Protein backbone atom coordinates (compact mmCIF):
# COMPACT_ATOMS: atom_id res chain seq x y z
CA UNK A 1 0.00 0.00 0.00
CA UNK A 2 1.25 3.48 -0.82
CA UNK A 3 0.41 6.11 1.78
CA UNK A 4 1.09 9.82 1.66
CA UNK A 5 0.08 11.96 4.63
CA UNK A 6 0.72 15.65 4.84
CA UNK A 7 -0.22 18.34 7.35
CA UNK A 8 -1.99 21.42 6.08
CA UNK A 9 -2.75 23.73 9.00
CA UNK A 10 -4.25 21.43 11.63
CA UNK A 11 -5.67 19.02 9.07
CA UNK A 12 -3.94 15.90 7.80
CA UNK A 13 -4.45 15.14 4.10
CA UNK A 14 -4.03 11.49 3.25
CA UNK A 15 -3.82 9.77 -0.10
CA UNK A 16 -3.45 6.01 -0.14
CA UNK A 17 -3.46 3.43 -2.89
CA UNK A 18 -4.04 -0.26 -2.33
CA UNK A 19 -2.85 -2.71 -4.94
CA UNK A 20 -5.83 -4.96 -5.55
CA UNK A 21 -7.69 -6.32 -8.56
CA UNK A 22 -11.11 -5.71 -6.97
CA UNK A 23 -12.77 -8.50 -8.98
CA UNK A 24 -16.55 -8.15 -9.04
CA UNK A 25 -18.96 -11.09 -9.00
CA UNK A 26 -19.72 -10.47 -12.70
CA UNK A 27 -16.05 -10.39 -13.66
CA UNK A 28 -15.35 -13.57 -11.68
CA UNK A 29 -18.30 -15.34 -13.30
CA UNK A 30 -17.15 -14.29 -16.76
CA UNK A 31 -13.49 -15.21 -16.31
CA UNK A 32 -13.65 -18.29 -14.08
CA UNK A 33 -17.26 -19.41 -14.37
CA UNK A 34 -17.82 -19.04 -10.64
CA UNK A 35 -19.03 -15.78 -9.14
CA UNK A 36 -17.71 -16.90 -5.74
CA UNK A 37 -14.18 -16.28 -7.04
CA UNK A 38 -14.88 -12.57 -6.68
CA UNK A 39 -12.38 -10.89 -4.42
CA UNK A 40 -12.29 -7.29 -3.34
CA UNK A 41 -11.30 -5.14 -0.37
CA UNK A 42 -14.12 -5.22 2.16
CA UNK A 43 -12.77 -2.92 4.83
CA UNK A 44 -9.98 -0.40 5.19
CA UNK A 45 -8.97 1.53 8.29
CA UNK A 46 -6.45 4.18 9.25
CA UNK A 47 -5.31 4.95 12.76
CA UNK A 48 -2.92 7.29 14.52
CA UNK A 49 -1.64 6.34 17.97
CA UNK A 50 -4.09 3.43 18.15
CA UNK A 51 -7.10 5.66 17.52
CA UNK A 52 -9.15 5.17 14.35
CA UNK A 53 -9.40 8.21 12.09
CA UNK A 54 -10.78 6.54 8.97
CA UNK A 55 -12.90 3.46 8.61
CA UNK A 56 -14.81 2.28 5.58
CA UNK A 57 -16.56 -0.93 4.61
CA UNK A 58 -16.40 -1.34 0.85
CA UNK A 59 -17.98 -3.33 -1.95
CA UNK A 60 -16.77 -4.76 -5.27
CA UNK A 61 -17.53 -1.43 -6.96
CA UNK A 62 -14.35 0.37 -6.01
CA UNK A 63 -11.98 0.69 -8.96
CA UNK A 64 -9.06 -1.64 -9.53
CA UNK A 65 -6.10 -0.51 -7.37
CA UNK A 66 -8.43 1.80 -5.45
CA UNK A 67 -7.33 5.20 -4.23
CA UNK A 68 -8.57 6.52 -0.88
CA UNK A 69 -8.30 10.22 -0.14
CA UNK A 70 -9.42 11.62 3.18
CA UNK A 71 -8.74 14.23 5.86
CA UNK A 72 -8.71 14.20 9.62
CA UNK A 73 -7.73 16.33 12.62
CA UNK A 74 -5.94 15.73 15.88
CA UNK A 75 -2.52 14.62 14.65
CA UNK A 76 0.82 16.38 14.23
CA UNK A 77 3.64 16.07 11.75
CA UNK A 78 5.98 13.29 12.80
CA UNK A 79 3.10 11.06 13.95
CA UNK A 80 2.74 7.68 12.31
CA UNK A 81 -0.39 6.76 10.38
CA UNK A 82 -1.13 3.06 10.09
CA UNK A 83 -3.49 1.67 7.48
CA UNK A 84 -4.86 -1.85 7.08
CA UNK A 85 -7.12 -3.44 4.52
CA UNK A 86 -8.75 -6.83 4.46
CA UNK A 87 -10.31 -8.49 1.41
CA UNK A 88 -13.12 -10.98 0.86
CA UNK A 89 -10.71 -13.94 0.96
CA UNK A 90 -9.27 -12.75 4.28
CA UNK A 91 -5.93 -11.39 3.03
CA UNK A 92 -4.69 -8.47 5.09
CA UNK A 93 -2.09 -5.85 4.25
CA UNK A 94 -0.89 -3.17 6.68
CA UNK A 95 1.42 -0.29 6.07
CA UNK A 96 2.74 2.75 7.91
CA UNK A 97 3.76 6.24 6.94
CA UNK A 98 5.02 9.29 8.75
CA UNK A 99 2.83 12.38 8.63
CA UNK A 100 4.82 15.15 6.99
Partner 1 sequence: MQRRKFLSLSGLAVAAAALAPSANAEDFRKTKPTVWTAHTVDDAVSAMYGTTAMTESGVTVTMPDVAANGGAVPVNIKSDIAAKSVALFQNANPESAVAAFTIHDNSIINYDLKIKLKSDGTPITVTAVVEGKDGKLYSGVKTLTVALGGCEG
Positions touching partner 1 (CB under 8 A) are 11, 22-27, 30-31, 42-43, 49-64, 66-75
Neighbours of 56 (CB within 10 A): 14
User: What's the closest the beta carbon of residue 3 comes to partner 1, in angstroms?
Assistant: 14
Pair 68, 16: CB distance under 8 Å:
yes
Considering the complex, state which of residue 70 and residue 95 has its C-beta at the smaller distance from partner 1: 70
Considering the complex, state which of residue 4 and residue 60 has its C-beta at the smaller distance from partner 1: 60
Pair 40, 62: CB distance under 8 Å:
yes
User: What's the closest the beta carbon of residue 69 comes to partner 1, in angstroms?
Assistant: 3
Q: Using DSSP bridges, classify how beta strands 80-87 and 92-98 pair: parallel, antiparallel or unpaired.
A: antiparallel
User: What's the closest the beta carbon of residue 95 comes to partner 1, in angstroms?
Assistant: 18
Considering the complex, state which of residue 58 and residue 95 has its C-beta at the smaller distance from partner 1: 58
Spatial distance between the Cα atoms of 17 and 66, rounded to a whole number of angstroms: 6
Amino acid sequence: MKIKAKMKGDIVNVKAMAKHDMTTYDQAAKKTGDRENANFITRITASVGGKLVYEVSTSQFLSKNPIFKFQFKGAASGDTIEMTWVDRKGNTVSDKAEIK
